Structure 1
């Protein structure tokens, strides 16, 4: 039986080989590690990306917008339009549907985006809603970014802190199990981390800085997977320093209590940015002026294996795929 989460690189490569078709108007199509497709519209480009929310969540509608929009913003393009598909169980009530729609509208308003279409249906076999949002944005033809744009010698900058989404999910879904091990106030603080998962602001800010070469949203598999995906797409290796990765007290305590690695825990809300060394201080200062913490956590190299330098100084070779810690937790609980 296949594990939950992303397909293996081998399976995904095989799938993309079947799906991909040459089209001169497609500047960037499906590829491992790339966040969104880019289509040539003449003097503009259309950027598009689709993402599902498959797990039960009180904020599923709100999350669906931000998760999809983040991947448009990593291209340096503002997410402007949304198409939403709602697959609903038979037991889904009208009040639940209204709440879902209100969440989608609220999230869209937060990033100044508009829902322009979609599809709704009652789907057999579901015990929870599945929400699929496709986001679109239009940008300048010569001013977009890709995951594959990192260069030898670039530094890796992370915004905010690691594992914000994962910490929030665990604090919510495992609240009762963690009570007694972790102070209630810590859990309540951690639940609110979900409100920080948008990276639109920092991505559009970073896009204005000379020397920024690539951006990538750290989602499933956490910062470790996202850093490796940039390196893989850019045909480079990454040296990641564990002691430099910013981790909040709440995340550290929850992961310690459950035996989880925060570097491998879903990290929506953390934007990874590849930037030339001389531009890194300018980038960090600009982000800080916007109220966004930013930290240098690694560096890209042309040769050698990708490495995680542990706090002890030990160097561990790292590679894709990275197993998501949240799936492991759910499977063993």
Structure 2
């Protein structure tokens, strides 16, 4: 039975790109075993809540299973799962019901200065082994780049991510004529009817993102999509992620796991979830900058394939704690 002897929380300022922040939680039990978790988009109140309330609740607590640890914080939940599975000597993927040993990957490409440059980048990824490409599109950058990529690669499996940026169906229906597999997040999350209407008009599967299994219910009731975009970091617990997976799979939906942010731990949890039997579409953990990674081995794809770590317990990756401490903007221990 785990009993947390010590909790440490680190706020990291990642050095690459927009220098985003991520929050890491380290739990140490009385036997010296550790578990780590990550919140890739920590709310401003998360730090104070961990310091003021969750630390006092967790330290010294005996618990049988991660689900029994109160708090509703995704980083703490992940750390509890990592600790619990390490103590039992089992991989996280196996503990939550995963069945896959490797995953196909998609690569996500942001809008480019020119269509020609985008086609060149697609070529680089195809040559690197990717057979599935997701293009980020927005109003004003949609039909022309998709047409160019499709003309250059008639057999390539293509999806588009609309970033919830559209308000009408016109351009999206036009995109459907280019043989897309999935149209991700076309409208505002709350507009279930718009998603349902679009799904009735296009051959591609519409993909929606939900942050809880209850939120997913509205989409399922309206038959507003055929794909669940499952982002484990958006949920409060891995058990809630599993419930959403089970609901979508039972409804006959495909599932794509996504989680390309952070320092590596959240990506590792995304890979574990993507090994679940209902996760039928390529996983999106687009190769991260090495400067941002605090895990070994690096979480990412090789020739379009992601390995599920099944020979090591827990999240399946070692933590470079010295690097964590170097990158930490601030930290506290309880």
Shorter chain as normaliser: what TM range?
under 0.3
Taking structure 1 as the reference length, the TM-score comes to: 0.25
Could you tell me the TM-score, scaled by structure 2's length?
0.25
